[in-house]
Chain A
Amino acid sequence: MPIRVNLDRVLLERRMSLTELADRVGVTIANLSILKTGKARAVRFSTLAALCRELDCLPGDLLDYEPGPADDMPDLDGEA
């Protein structure tokens, strides 16, 4: 995925824990972990807005773009 999430860096700069951010934003810790580890496929504007509001930052502080191949979704046959 060419989009990189810098949530852990911003959290460190703000000295805020993932649990606290999850409480403030109203997103589960599990979902925030998915976002932090770069496994998320998409971010809702509402979530991004809430993250920017609580972390006092811009979307560009949270997201980076690195040119590279877009990884497709894993084949569902493997899971079935």
Chain B
Amino acid sequence: MRQLRMMRALGPGSVSSFLKVILDVVFAGLWIAVGAVGLMMLAGLLLSFNPELINQISITVAGTDVLAKWPVMAGSFLATAAYLAGLLVIVERLRKIFATLTAGDPFHPDNVTRLRVIGLALAALELGRYVVWIASAWLLPGKTRVEPDLSLTSWFSVLVVFVLAEVFREGARLRREAELTI
């Protein structure tokens, strides 16, 4: 605890520089994942022009040949793309918030909007999980192992982000007031 208090807030060796590295790595990893999904979708599209080749390929998930069920493939690609897009939205906003922090202006009014977008994206990702479960239960009856649990932790994190957005709104108001104090 004492060591944490002694750590600098900004600059080399600080907690924020460590977090920035994590954010950069996650951001790069997400783009690699986007590229991989894009390539797989392209491959799927190219294969669709060659039905003979498709007949020789078999991809089995939970005992079901998913190629025979093309809506499952298309749906899973769409779900993955939407999930990655949601994560990219969150990480991209986090990086921008971090840029304001390193610039010494964390209570910039734009950060309020960014935090709200992050909260909405988290909520959308959680709702998307329910949609995927319903769709998988419908398309692969009896094969799905995903339980339709209501994740309180996820909704709690959404709540935390929205509360933080309000804190930042007040911070931005105080910052504006400080700017107009001569």
Contact = CB atoms under 8 A, between A and B. Distances in A.
A44 B182 CA distance: 6
Contact of A41 (B109, B112, B181): B181
A40 B112 contact: no
A40 B181 contact: yes
A19 interface: no
Contacts of A73: 173, 176-177
Contacts of B109: 76, 79-80
B182 A47 contact: yes
Contacts of A31: 182
Interface centre among B169, B177, B180, B182 (most CB of A within 10 A): B182
Interface in B156-182: 169, 172-173, 176-177, 180-182
B164 to A, nearest CB: 15
A71 to B, nearest CB: 12
Contacts of A40: 180-182
Interface in B83-111: 109-110
Which applies to chain B's interface (DSSP): helix, strand, loop or mixed? helix
Nearest to A79: B109
Nearest to B172: A76
Contacts of A76: 109, 112, 169, 172-173, 176
A3 interface: no
- Most B CB contacts (10 A, CB to CB) among A27, A34, A35, A79 go to A79
A35 to B, nearest CB: 5
A35 B68 CA distance: 74
Contact of A43 (B110, B177, B182): B182
B177 A42 contact: yes
A35 B182 contact: yes
Interface of A: 27, 31-32, 34-35, 39-44, 47, 73, 76-77, 79-80
26 contacts: A27-B182, A31-B182, A39-B180, A40-B181, A40-B182, A41-B177, A41-B181, A42-B177, A42-B180, A42-B182, A43-B181, A43-B182, A44-B181, A44-B182, A73-B173, A73-B177, A76-B109, A76-B112, A76-B172, A76-B173, A77-B112, A77-B113, A80-B109, A80-B110, A80-B112, A80-B172
- What 5 pairs between A and B have smallest CB-CB spacing? A41-B180, A80-B113, A42-B181, A80-B109, A79-B109
Interface of B: 109-110, 112-113, 169, 172-173, 176-177, 180-182
